A and B are shown apart, each in its own frame.
Chain A
Amino acid sequence: MQNISFTLNDKLVKVSVEPQETLLDMLRERLDLTGTKKGCEKGDCGACTVILDGEAVNSCLVLAVQVDGKSVTTIEGLEKDGELDPIQQAFIDKGAVQCGYCIPGMILSSKALLDKNPSPTEEEIRTSISGNLCRCTGYVQIVDAIKSLVK
């Protein structure tokens, strides 16, 4: 076991992890943050997307030990004092959510985009979520939701 400490949703946390444990498993199994989803464990679906130091990554392809000293944002970290992040609200308002299984990953991928680029084109929006598979929506209302936030 190895001890690590990192910023998780704006709070410093200390965790003991196995060296081969993925960030995804640490979040879900050790910290019970199950908003981060598991769909393939191979980088193929994006359901496990979290933001690591400002970048959207597949948490199934990052080792827990690798986030030592870094900052991780999961879907649970977006709501602040009962106030939803504008992206979360936009997803609700535009009907972007169906089964919802891809949604945490979608929201974090689009958040990583909008944080860096507040005025993306449709192409940039679609690219930003191109690593996140959704089988329900055809992406139509998801793209609408992200577009509605373009400055």
Chain B
Amino acid sequence: MNERILGKEVKRVDARDKVTGRLKYAGDLRVPNLHYGKVLFSAYPRAKVLSIKTDKAAALPGVKKVITYKDVKGPNKWGYTNKDRFLLVPEGELTRYVGDSIAFVVAETEKVAQEALKLIEVEYEPLKAIGTTEEAADPGAPLIHDYASGNICVVREAVHGDVESAFTQCDYIVEEDVDIPRIEHAFIETESGIAYVDGLEGILHVYSCLQDPYYPAWDISHALGIPQGKVHVKATLLGGGFGGKLDTTIQAFLAAMTYYSGVPVKLVLTREESIRFHNKRHPAKIHVKVGATKDGKILAMHGRIITDAGPYHDRTAEVLGLMVHALSGAYHIPNLDLKGTAYYTNNLCCGAFRGFGDPQGALGRELTLNSLARTMGMDPQELRAKNFLHDENVIFEDRPVRLEQIKEKMDSYLGGPLPAPSGPNKVVGRGFSFDKPIFDISSTPSLGKSGVGAAVEMFQDGSVIVHSGITEMGQGYKTIISQIVAEELGVDIEEIQVDLGDNISAPRAGRTSASRGSFVGGNSVILATQKIKETLLKRAAIELDCNKDAVELGYKKIYLKDMPERSVPTKDIAMKCFQEGIKLREESWFKHHKPFVSGHTYTCAGAEVEVDTVTGEVTVLKLANIHDAGKVLNPQTARGQMYGAALQSFGYALMENIPCEEGFPKARSFSEYKIPTALDVPSLAIADFIENPYPLGPYGAKGMGEHGINGSTPAIVTAIGNAIGKKFNKLPVLQEDIVNAIKG
């Protein structure tokens, strides 16, 4: 195919508004009579709420309304998977973490709202919090949810073959324990939004930064007991999401605030509130035992994962499922016994985070395989090559490229002899990691994401509007969709309006996650544009006095295939359609025919590091990611996704962690929770692609939003270990850990 716009470095369509500061993010919006909301979060991770007294707060001048559970007319519950969270915790009930909400204040200014919070008197009976998975599993432990005996949130397994007997045939067996911390998304825009009820139809509008407008609409309607048709949720362009804004965050709070106060409300969480409230990436304790024959064939893997879900289910089942599957990852292992268990605790809640379980699983797997290679005295690349999952082992309709191909490309960046250390007491090392995540980039029927729609309309002036429920969080979806429509309908990008993340104007599209946006959104938009194209061609054929099959749609015109100089401007046809009542608005419904995940992609990450053997300081010299992309729709945004993901893994490997102590988070700010700065990250970041079009992807594209994060972390950790001849199984790898390893 010879595309005009796709595959090109088209500049982002939202960039100009972003570099000029013109773009309004959720927290920048205003409407007349706007009031400000504040949330009173639980002071304790686990406590009985004995009484809530709001009189003093309500009497403060400037306070419009103080809202408690008593005001909520509906079921007062929300949550993904199980609607098991109180919108407002009632008196007599228990709190489950420090992000539970007790009361809302609506006031004329943020400052007054803040003052009023301090005047709300809540009497708690603090109870001992369940602060570890061990405590949660203790038979004597109190239950966090009555329905979850043993405080087990969910168990996920992957079993085939006979692991026990396979181990008896192994010449080498290694076992590793990998300890992975809970981490924070650290999007720079905190949860924010505005809400109001309009005076036209009485519809409740919520404009907020979110990754899925449909689920919050359901949560709002459920919690407040109002019909879904009365709830309009629109995603603003996000200031970062990474999974942290995937499930309902503050949207139900906003809805309740405006609904029960009668005034428009703005709510913007402070950084401290954001950190305590939103879901984190699950911590994990992973035990892996793997066995191979002496020629390097892996026969069996036994794996156990324990994770801390925090107090609510949210995405834990899905995340844990992927984590378990990721333990075998890109390798063909005939005998598997893998099991993951998630416990409820009173710690911070965990949920979706870029990579969705795969980063943890990949660490467990890759670090253990490196250990196996070391034990066997085999080159770790060779060990992997012998066990790569190939088409012969499993048939994927999407035909991922062979891992060798990716490895070859990686070697062109990180091959050859190691560079010389930059000075005395410095050593250099390399590490690699391979991954094959199984993100569900399809539209298969699991919770609320069966089928993905889009609506496209061409107006009589030839311009186009697209309504898509996918959201723009920085990944570049708006640009990709503009490119696709411009390509399909032969219009300029400037003539396309892309309306995103709206639960009412856009047909259901589900969530923007799992690297699925461009795949499902792109496919559904293509389906709709094709119908429009059909109509245009039919009408143009009449105009050009020929058969429909004889015409083709080109850039801004429709022409005769074998006489291109005979043409008619597309917009004239659009006008004709308008005048003659011919429909140029189409809806589509993209539904994958396979009942399971698709778009398997292989990735390889490589890191080259220098370690100071006196101080344990690490400099990552190079960090490379090679990705089996199917088709790169926009090289610039594609590289951006890979760099961004890879460098998040840098933080994961070396500095990030948000521990909880008896339910209280130990980091409350960006001073205490550190993400990398421009002075930390490697100055040589590499992202390259292999293009092997995937027949079901839009123009052959597969997902790519998350892949860079999975392999990079084990690659960095392994490189550090290789540099000093030791191994690290605990993240983040700190300078003192390295010094200790060198000494001990």
Q: Check B11 against A99 for contact (C-beta < 8 Å).
A: no
Q: Check A84 against B19 for contact (C-beta < 8 Å).
A: yes
Q: Distance (Å) between the CB of B538 and the closest chain A CB?
A: 39
Q: Scan residues 121-148 of chain A and give those whose CB is less than 8 A from a CB of chain B.
A: 122, 125-127, 129-143
Q: Scan residues 99-113 of chain B and give those whose CB is less than 8 A from a CB of chain A.
A: none
What are the residues of chain A within 8 A of B27 when measuring CB–CB? 34, 38
Q: Check B677 against A74 for contact (C-beta < 8 Å).
A: no
> Contacts A39-B189, A126-B679 known; A97 to B670 CB distance under 8 Å?
no
- Please pick, from B239, B270, B271, the residue contacting A101 in the complex, using a CB distance under 8 A: B239
Q: Distance (Å) between the CB of A143 and the closest chain B CB?
A: 7
Q: Check A138 against B644 for contact (C-beta < 8 Å).
A: yes
> Contacts A42-B669, A95-B12, A99-B239 known; A130 to B679 CB distance under 8 Å?
yes
- Asked whether B700 is an interface residue with its Cβ less than 8 Å from the other chain, the reply is no
Q: Check B20 against A76 for contact (C-beta < 8 Å).
A: yes
Q: Distance (Å) between the CB of A58 and the closest chain B CB?
A: 12
A37 to B28, CA, bound (A): 9
- Please pick, from A35, A36, A40, A137, the residue contacting B670 in the complex, using a CB distance under 8 A: A40
For A127, the closest partner residue in chain B by CB is B679
Please classify the interface of chain B as helix (H, G, I), strand (E, B), loop, or mixed, using the class held by over half of its residues: loop
Q: Check A36 against B675 for contact (C-beta < 8 Å).
A: no
Q: Check A107 against B647 for contact (C-beta < 8 Å).
A: no
What are the residues of chain B within 8 A of A126 when measuring CB–CB? 678-679, 683
A1 to B559, CA, bound (A): 68
> Considering residues B15, B22, B23, which has the most beta carbons from chain A within 10 angstroms of its beta carbon?
B15
Q: Check B669 against A35 for contact (C-beta < 8 Å).
A: no
- Please pick, from A34, A75, A88, A135, the residue contacting B187 in the complex, using a CB distance under 8 A: A135
Binary contact track B685-725/A, C-beta < 8 Å → 1, others 0: 10000000000000000000000000000000000000000
Binary contact track B244-278/A, C-beta < 8 Å → 1, others 0: 00000000000000000000000010110000000
A36 to B21, CA, bound (A): 7
What are the residues of chain B within 8 A of A42 when measuring CB–CB? 271, 669-671
Q: Scan residues 83-117 of chain A and give those whose CB is less than 8 A from a CB of chain B.
A: 84, 88, 91-93, 95, 97-104, 107
Q: Check A143 against B189 for contact (C-beta < 8 Å).
A: no
Q: Check B21 against A137 for contact (C-beta < 8 Å).
A: no
Q: Distance (Å) between the CB of A97 and the closest chain B CB?
A: 5
Q: Scan residues 612-660 of chain B and give those whose CB is less than 8 A from a CB of chain A.
A: 636-637, 639-640, 643-644, 646-648, 650
- Asked whether A41 is an interface residue with its Cβ less than 8 Å from the other chain, the reply is yes
> Contacts A101-B240, A127-B679 known; A44 to B647 CB distance under 8 Å?
no
What are the residues of chain B within 8 A of A132 when measuring CB–CB? 678
- Asked whether A64 is an interface residue with its Cβ less than 8 Å from the other chain, the reply is no
Q: Check A103 against B18 for contact (C-beta < 8 Å).
A: yes
Q: Distance (Å) between the CB of B219 and the closest chain A CB?
A: 24
- Asked whether A79 is an interface residue with its Cβ less than 8 Å from the other chain, the reply is yes
For B686, the closest partner residue in chain A by CB is A140
- Please pick, from A38, A44, A141, the residue contacting B639 in the complex, using a CB distance under 8 A: A141
- In this complex, how many residues of chain B approach chain A with their Cβ under 8 Å: the count is 57
Q: Distance (Å) between the CB of B544 and the closest chain A CB?
A: 40
Q: Check A137 against B643 for contact (C-beta < 8 Å).
A: yes
What are the residues of chain A within 8 A of B12 when measuring CB–CB? 92, 95, 97
- Asked whether B16 is an interface residue with its Cβ less than 8 Å from the other chain, the reply is yes
Q: Check B237 against A99 for contact (C-beta < 8 Å).
A: yes
What are the residues of chain A within 8 A of B646 when measuring CB–CB? 138
Q: Which of B166-174, B472-480, B728-736 contacts A (4 or more CB under 8 A)?
A: B472-480
Q: Check B270 against A41 for contact (C-beta < 8 Å).
A: yes
**A interface, size bucket:** 35 or more
- Asked whether A45 is an interface residue with its Cβ less than 8 Å from the other chain, the reply is yes
What are the residues of chain B within 8 A of A101 when measuring CB–CB? 25, 187-189, 239-240
- Asked whether B603 is an interface residue with its Cβ less than 8 Å from the other chain, the reply is no
Q: Distance (Å) between the CB of A32 and the closest chain B CB?
A: 7
Q: Distance (Å) between the CB of A84 and the closest chain B CB?
A: 7
Q: Scan residues 659-673 of chain B and give those whose CB is less than 8 A from a CB of chain A.
A: 669-671
Q: Scan residues 565-582 of chain B and give those whose CB is less than 8 A from a CB of chain A.
A: none
- Asked whether A63 is an interface residue with its Cβ less than 8 Å from the other chain, the reply is no
What are the residues of chain A within 8 A of B739 when measuring CB–CB? none
Q: Check A138 against B19 for contact (C-beta < 8 Å).
A: no
A125 to B681, CA, bound (A): 13
What are the residues of chain A within 8 A of B671 when measuring CB–CB? 42, 44
A22 to B11, CA, bound (A): 35
What are the residues of chain A within 8 A of B19 when measuring CB–CB? 75, 84, 88, 91-92, 97, 100, 103-104, 107
> Considering residues B9, B19, B476, which has the most beta carbons from chain A within 10 angstroms of its beta carbon?
B19
A47 to B242, CA, bound (A): 18
- Asked whether B53 is an interface residue with its Cβ less than 8 Å from the other chain, the reply is no
> Considering residues B28, B241, B242, which has the most beta carbons from chain A within 10 angstroms of its beta carbon?
B28
Q: Check A139 against B188 for contact (C-beta < 8 Å).
A: no
A74 to B20, CA, bound (A): 10
Q: Distance (Å) between the CB of B318 and the closest chain A CB?
A: 23
- Asked whether B186 is an interface residue with its Cβ less than 8 Å from the other chain, the reply is yes
Q: Check A95 against B636 for contact (C-beta < 8 Å).
A: yes
- Asked whether A17 is an interface residue with its Cβ less than 8 Å from the other chain, the reply is no
Q: Check A92 against B11 for contact (C-beta < 8 Å).
A: yes
- Asked whether B30 is an interface residue with its Cβ less than 8 Å from the other chain, the reply is yes
Q: Check A79 against B189 for contact (C-beta < 8 Å).
A: no
> Contacts A101-B239, A141-B640 known; A44 to B670 CB distance under 8 Å?
yes
Closest 9 CB pairs of A and B: A35-B21, A99-B474, A138-B647, A101-B239, A100-B18, A75-B21, A98-B474, A44-B670, A34-B28
Residues of B with Cβ closer than 8 Å to A? 9, 11-12, 14-16, 18-25, 27-28, 30, 185-190, 237-242, 268, 270-271, 473-476, 636-637, 639-640, 643-644, 646-648, 650, 669-671, 675-679, 681, 683, 685
* Further 13 A-B residue pairs, CB within 8 A, beyond A38-B268, A40-B670, A99-B237: A28-B28, A39-B189, A93-B11, A99-B188, A99-B473, A99-B474, A101-B189, A101-B239, A135-B188, A135-B240, A136-B240, A136-B644, A140-B643
27 contacts between A and B (CB under 8 A): A28-B28, A34-B21, A37-B239, A39-B189, A42-B271, A44-B669, A75-B19, A78-B20, A84-B16, A92-B12, A93-B11, A95-B11, A97-B14, A97-B15, A99-B237, A101-B25, A101-B187, A101-B239, A104-B21, A107-B19, A127-B679, A133-B675, A134-B678, A138-B646, A138-B647, A140-B640, A140-B685
